């Protein structure tokens, strides 16, 4: 069966520090991968999605970047965090072809101080 | 940008009652999905309805879709305290490979 792992679960970082959130998927090949951000009490904002290794689409210009170094690995990064980067980050995957049903990770809570 | 907008933003009901949440969207869709999120957790897919379907059932869930009004509703029958969560609609449009989520309805079921 397919599983998705996302870490770390909780992160407290000072302004200006770097960020790396990692997501891996098991049990499937060539998944579509996604990073969403959720502000407190709000809906989900799509940040990045990837349909293959090295293929990254950015939905919102910002302080963040994403990389997909391996088929089932998706990394969200920042060189210098801003206060506004605080939020709940969710990784998700879907099959490459189909109805785009997403399976989410458990999320990473980032607080920038 | 938000494609779907849920209504109401918050809903509080007694256990055993039915809960209805609505979603409106703006553009043509391929399908519409509903997800559930427990506090501080990831989202879980509940049900998908395609643009050529009008109604779908799954257990205690009933989803309707009215493409002429660009709206959908999620009905949870005989609610339980464990149904307390946020519920989001999400739309898939055209050739886009991503979903666009609404802002969610916070459902509280009181025991």
Q: For the segment B25-49, what is each residue's pLDDT rounded down to a tens digit? A: 998 999 999 999 999 999 999 999 9
> What's the rounded Cα separation, in Å, for the pair B96 and B81?
36
* Structural contact between residues A91 and A105, judged by C-beta atoms closer than 8 angstroms: yes
Nearest Cα to Cα of residue A103 among A45, A51, A41, A32: A32
- Give B-chain residues touching A46 at CB under 8 angstroms: 98-100
The C-alpha of A54 sits at a distance from chain B's nearest C-alpha, in angstroms, of 16
Q: Which of the four pLDDT bands, split at 50, 70 and 90, describes residue B76? A: very high
Strand locations in A53-96, DSSP E? 55-58, 65-70, 73-78, 87-94
* Structural contact between residues B73 and B63, judged by C-beta atoms closer than 8 angstroms: yes
Cβ contact (<8 Å) for A43 and B31? Answer: no
- pLDDT score of B79 more than 60: yes
- pLDDT score of B96 more than 70: no
Average pLDDT over residues B78-99: 89
Continuous segment of H or E residues that includes residue A24: strand A19-26
Residues belonging to chain B with any Cβ–Cβ distance to chain A shorter than 8 Å: 2, 30-31, 33, 35, 40-45, 48, 50, 88, 90, 92, 97-104, 106
What are the pLDDT digits (tens) for A23-35? 999 999 999 999 9
Q: pLDDT value at position B1?
A: 41
């Amino acid at each position: 069966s397919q599983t998705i792992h996302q870490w770390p679960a909780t992160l407290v970082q000072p302004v200006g520090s770097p960020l790396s959130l990692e997501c891996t998927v098991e049990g499937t090949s060539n998944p579509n991968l996604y990073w969403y951000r959720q502000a407190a009490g709000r809906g989900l904002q799509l940040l990045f999605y990837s349909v293959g290794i090295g293929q990254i689409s950015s939905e919102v210009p910002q302080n963040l970047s994403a990389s997909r170094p391996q088929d089932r690995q998706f990394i969200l990064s920042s060189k210098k965090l801003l206060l506004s980067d605080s939020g709940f980050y969710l990784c998700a995957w879907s099959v490459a072809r189909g109805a785009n049903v997403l399976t989410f990770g458990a999320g990473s809570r980032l607080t920038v101080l | 940008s938000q494609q779907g907008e849920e209504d109401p933003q918050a809903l509080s009901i007694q256990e055993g009652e039915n809960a209805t949440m609505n979603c409106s969207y703006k553009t043509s869709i391929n399908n519409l999905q509903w997800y559930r999120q427990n506090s501080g957790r990831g989202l879980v897919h509940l049900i998908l309805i395609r643009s050529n379907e009008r109604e779908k059932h799954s257990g205690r869930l009933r989803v309707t879709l009215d493409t002429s009004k660009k709206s959908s509703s999620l009905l949870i029958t005989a609610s339980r305290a464990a149904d307390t969560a946020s519920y989001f609609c999400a739309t898939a449009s055209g050739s886009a490979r991503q979903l666009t989520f609404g802002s969610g309805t916070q459902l509280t079921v009181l025991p």
